[in-house]
Structure 1
Amino acid sequence: MKVFKTLERQKLQNLFLLFVAGLSFWLSLTALLPVLPSYIKVMSAGERSLTFALGSWNTSLLLSVQSQVGFVMGCFAIGLLMFRSSLGQMADRRGRKIVVLIGTIVSGIAPFGYLYFHSIPGLMALRAFHGISIAAFTTGYSAWVVDLSPAKQRGELISYMSLVIPVGMALGPMVGGYVAEAAGYTTVFVLSGIAGILAFVLASQVGETPKLETKVARDSALRPKKLLQRLKHPALLTPTSVMLCVGLIFGTLISFLPLFIEEIQLDLNVGLFYAVAAIASFISRVLTGRASDRYGRGIFISGSLVCYGISMVLLSYAQSPQAFLIAAFFEGAGAGTIVPMAIALMSDRSAIDERGLVYSICIGGFDLGMAIAGPILGFLAEPIGYRNLYFLSAILAAIALLVFISRINKDFLSSWRFATGRGQDFYALKT
């Protein structure tokens, strides 16, 4: 980790505080992963009718338990989708710190809401509110880290700072799962809220980076001011489409994995699955960060999509705890690579005064995938079964890989070369 030795003391201190705040944030978030699907199932109490009312208007939907779980879990991404873009623009205009603070305070408040909302519509609204936390935190955190990173070591530093995710994923689900078994849901929600509040306190101590000028802003392919113009540009549309597929896969995984394990009566704590995935994510981030600065982002994004495909195929056939844990390792390797590489790729392609918005659009693809994975695939879970859901996820990974290797650069040949580590990124800014 020689990159840290080259940084000024103040930057190093800010990065350390930001890292610990990020760790607390992800612990707060991931402690709920093994708990919420089962909690939602209990709250549904076998009811298959979900009623919505607004004034004199009301309607009822006849839903399976799987669909209700999918709806509630998917609502998390509604907050992401509604606020990601505006929070990205806020990060560019008003600074990264205020956006990070918004994310952490929501992560501290929302878990306590699960103690008071016991209806499915109430939980859906709470999940949407909780989604604001990750929309704010990840956008502000990513842009803040890049602001503090030397351009030639950007991929390496992003990878190291993004280790808060696998470490949080390793500890949070295990803690959440074991605490739920030993002390019940209430204790898990309280601990999650406390971790979120701690993240807020730590983030408030980080010094805001000064407004920086950039000499390459005029060269950015994403310079058009209108949101639709940005989204339609291949430099942003292709990675956003890839992240949409990844979001669908990840949304399916977190929404239905605990129920899948429960259905086949497998003796496996779902927290262990997330822990193995987190270990793989940790390893992949450490290994790929510096390498991507040398060999480019493309080959590592391609590899991550292959890992996702392998993981989902394994899950669709898995019968034993060992098979699930092997699938977890591949999923973690894929997730641990694609997230920092997508951030690094968009950092390469955008100027400093547009990064917040560009990140929010690209990662918004992931958000949308998560939002629709639960409700849409929840309808399919009952008729086709969980195994086939994960096989469909493997097909999504293959589609994402095909899109990436054919559309990520200016034409098919240059895209193929970049995706296999043998060509440059046509849309990257000169530094």
Structure 2
Amino acid sequence: MAGRPSLVLLSLASGLSPFGMAVIVPALALFVRDLGTTEAQAALVVSTYLIGLTLAQPLLGTLCDRFGRRPVLLCGFVVFVVASLVCAAATELWVLLLGRLFQALGVSVGTVAARAVVRDTREGMEAAEAMAWISAIMGVAPVFAPMIGGLLGVHFGWQSIFLFSAAVGTLVLGWVALRMPETRPAGAPASLEIAATLRGYAKLLSHRGFLGFTLVFGFCNAAFFAFLATGAAIFERDLGLGPDRFGLIWGALSVAYIVGAALGGFMIRRWGIGRTLRFGVGAAAVLSVTMPLVLLTAGVDAFTLLVPLTALMACNGIIGPQGLAGAVSDQPELAGTAAGLSSSLGLLLCALFAALAGALYSGNALVPIGLISLAMLATLPALGMTGLLRPGREPAQA
């Protein structure tokens, strides 16, 4: 191995994925105006991207295991840059959707490869701490991306958003080309065989630790997406706050996640992974039970809604990165495959909870709040699958 890549580089490679999803959210109304679509059709620009992430990550993880992290990462970012240019040139919705699909197919390699590289170059607590810091830096993307997208869309047109995405992708691509060594373990298989790939999936899916950590990560993010699907409507209907105020609140909640992820990194160093996860999951469980009860008894207002949501987002930041790290920790020979498969399964849970929140919400804020609480409570049995719920247990013992 030529050396360990910078955590900043790995964070930027991972952060391009959430950046690409969030940066176009403020431009949805512009798509309706300029492309003559309905609001529902414009929303496909987001869902198509999410579908692309879900479909691509298991395959890209396998490719990273077969051919190396570096070449797959470089190819993926080239696809992202080209697809961004296609989106910028689109004059019809179907072309834009095709470009968005390929944007996601390309950029999703960043998250997968970064997690595999962390596993290649770090062990145990150091790997978990690295994932916490990567997640904290990644959390900046959904904070600033909508602000950047909104400014570019209003002043220069929605096409400028995709040109900016292509420029950022090119910069990261150049940094990877110059500074990213190959980290795949020596002796790893160098060919792509369907049978071997399926055996790898079967081995992972039959492993309680992999499933447990994947579900911890997945349910944390599912709570986040349940809020994303209905938050703007809740804040407008129940609190009388418009989209601009919601954007500020969204930024504040994202900052809470970043603080939680950074705090998790410090806690791991002091307490270890097992105790940190028990604390985060336990605190989230308490908040998940008390939040609906407070809203039922005191009513929905800015204080009763935002205080527990902020605390839950901080818990999410403590828990989620450790789920990411844990899913790839046990079987280093399948680190890329594990990274892709766990991310894909997590995204499926996100899509499920977002769809449920959108379908069930009809003006009663308690319905999506209940789904958020349910998702966070589900991290308890998920952590139990890893063996870390018992006091004193750490991953090596679990």
Bucket of the pairwise TM-score, normalised by the shorter protein:
0.7 to 0.9
Correspondences of 1:92-241 after superposition (within 5 Å): 92-117=65-90, 123-212=96-185, 225-241=199-215
Closer/same/farther in 2, CA of residues 259 and 178 from structure 1, 3 Å limit: farther
Tell me, in whole angstroms, the C-alpha distance in 1 between the residues paired with 2:213 and 2:15.
Answer: 29
Q: CA deviation at 1:230?
A: 2.3
Matched residue, 1:52: none
Q: Are 1:353 and 2:327 counterparts?
A: no
Closer/same/farther in 2, CA of residues 366 and 191 from structure 1, 3 Å limit: same
Tell me, in whole angstroms, the C-alpha distance in 2 between the residues paired with 1:20 and 1:236.
Answer: 23
Q: CA deviation at 1:88?
A: 0.7
Tell me, in whole angstroms, the C-alpha distance in 2 between the residues paired with 1:124 and 1:94.
Answer: 29
Q: CA deviation at 1:362?
A: 1.7
Closer/same/farther in 2, CA of residues 367 and 156 from structure 1, 3 Å limit: same
Q: CA deviation at 1:304?
A: 7.3
Matched residue, 2:268: 292
Closer/same/farther in 2, CA of residues 123 and 371 from structure 1, 3 Å limit: farther
Tell me, in whole angstroms, the C-alpha distance in 1 between the residues paired with 2:256 and 2:286.
Answer: 11
Closer/same/farther in 2, CA of residues 250 and 76 from structure 1, 3 Å limit: farther
Tell me, in whole angstroms, the C-alpha distance in 2 between the residues paired with 1:231 and 1:401.
Answer: 18
Task: Name the amino acid aligned to 2:145.
Answer: G
Tell me, in whole angstroms, the C-alpha distance in 2 between the residues paired with 1:175 and 1:205.
Answer: 27
Task: Name the amino acid aligned to 1:354.
Answer: L
Q: Are 1:32 and 2:23 counterparts?
A: yes
Deviates more, 1:129-138 or 1:311-320: 311-320
Closer/same/farther in 2, CA of residues 247 and 16 from structure 1, 3 Å limit: closer
Closer/same/farther in 2, CA of residues 394 and 343 from structure 1, 3 Å limit: closer
Task: Name the amino acid aligned to 1:336.
Answer: G
Q: Are 1:282 and 2:252 counterparts?
A: no
Partner SS for 2:77: helix
Preserved CA contact (<8 Å) 1:273 1:324: no
Q: Are 1:363 and 2:339 counterparts?
A: no
Tell me, in whole angstroms, the C-alpha distance in 1 between the residues paired with 2:357 and 2:97.
Answer: 17
Matched residue, 1:390: 368
Closer/same/farther in 2, CA of residues 311 and 148 from structure 1, 3 Å limit: farther
Q: CA deviation at 1:276?
A: 1.7
Q: Are 1:425 and 2:395 counterparts?
A: yes
Task: Name the amino acid aligned to 1:279.
Answer: V
Task: Name the amino acid aligned to 1:408.
Answer: T
Partner SS for 1:163: helix
Tell me, in whole angstroms, the C-alpha distance in 1 between the residues paired with 2:42 and 2:354.
Answer: 7
Matched residue, 2:50: 77
Tell me, in whole angstroms, the C-alpha distance in 1 between the residues paired with 2:385 and 2:183.
Answer: 36
Tell me, in whole angstroms, the C-alpha distance in 1 between the residues paired with 2:66 and 2:181.
Answer: 13
Closer/same/farther in 2, CA of residues 311 and 153 from structure 1, 3 Å limit: farther
Tell me, in whole angstroms, the C-alpha distance in 2 between the residues paired with 1:161 and 1:117.
Answer: 33
Preserved CA contact (<8 Å) 1:318 1:324: yes
Preserved CA contact (<8 Å) 1:311 1:328: no
Tell me, in whole angstroms, the C-alpha distance in 2 between the residues paired with 1:27 and 1:379.
Answer: 24
Correspondences of 1:282-361 after superposition (within 5 Å): 282-293=258-269, 294-297=271-274, 298-300=277-279, 302-303=281-282, 305-306=284-285, 309=288, 319-320=301-302, 326=307, 329-350=310-331, 352-361=332-341
Q: CA deviation at 1:183?
A: 4.4
Partner SS for 1:78: helix
Tell me, in whole angstroms, the C-alpha distance in 2 between the residues paired with 1:377 and 1:310.
Answer: 18
Matched residue, 1:89: 62
Q: CA deviation at 1:285?
A: 2.1
For 1:330-371, what per-residue CA distance to the aligned partner results, in whole angstroms no more than 9, with x for missing partners?
354244223321122124322x22111112222222121234
Preserved CA contact (<8 Å) 1:25 1:107: no
Task: Name the amino acid aligned to 2:226.
Answer: T
Deviates more, 1:122-131 or 1:189-198: 122-131
Tell me, in whole angstroms, the C-alpha distance in 1 between the residues paired with 2:290 and 2:249.
Answer: 12
Preserved CA contact (<8 Å) 2:63 2:72: yes
Deviates more, 1:86-95 or 1:279-288: 279-288
Preserved CA contact (<8 Å) 1:18 1:203: yes
Preserved CA contact (<8 Å) 1:302 1:404: no
Tell me, in whole angstroms, the C-alpha distance in 2 between the residues paired with 1:179 and 1:233.
Answer: 46
Tell me, in whole angstroms, the C-alpha distance in 1 between the residues paired with 2:368 and 2:35.
Answer: 24
Preserved CA contact (<8 Å) 2:285 2:380: no
Closer/same/farther in 2, CA of residues 83 and 398 from structure 1, 3 Å limit: closer
Q: CA deviation at 1:278?
A: 3.2
The CA RMSD measured in Å over matched residues stands at 4.0
Preserved CA contact (<8 Å) 1:85 1:357: yes
Tell me, in whole angstroms, the C-alpha distance in 2 between the residues paired with 1:25 and 1:240.
Answer: 21
Task: Name the amino acid aligned to 1:370.
Answer: C
Closer/same/farther in 2, CA of residues 108 and 79 from structure 1, 3 Å limit: same
When normalised by structure 1's length, the TM-score is 0.72
Closer/same/farther in 2, CA of residues 177 and 261 from structure 1, 3 Å limit: farther
Tell me, in whole angstroms, the C-alpha distance in 1 between the residues paired with 2:364 and 2:23.
Answer: 21
Q: CA deviation at 1:151?
A: 4.2
Partner SS for 1:204: helix
Identical-pair percentage? 19
Return the match for 2:241 from 266, 274, 289: 266
Gaps of 5+ in 2: 188-196
Matched residue, 1:403: 381
Tell me, in whole angstroms, the C-alpha distance in 1 between the residues paired with 2:153 and 2:372.
Answer: 31
Partner SS for 2:389: helix
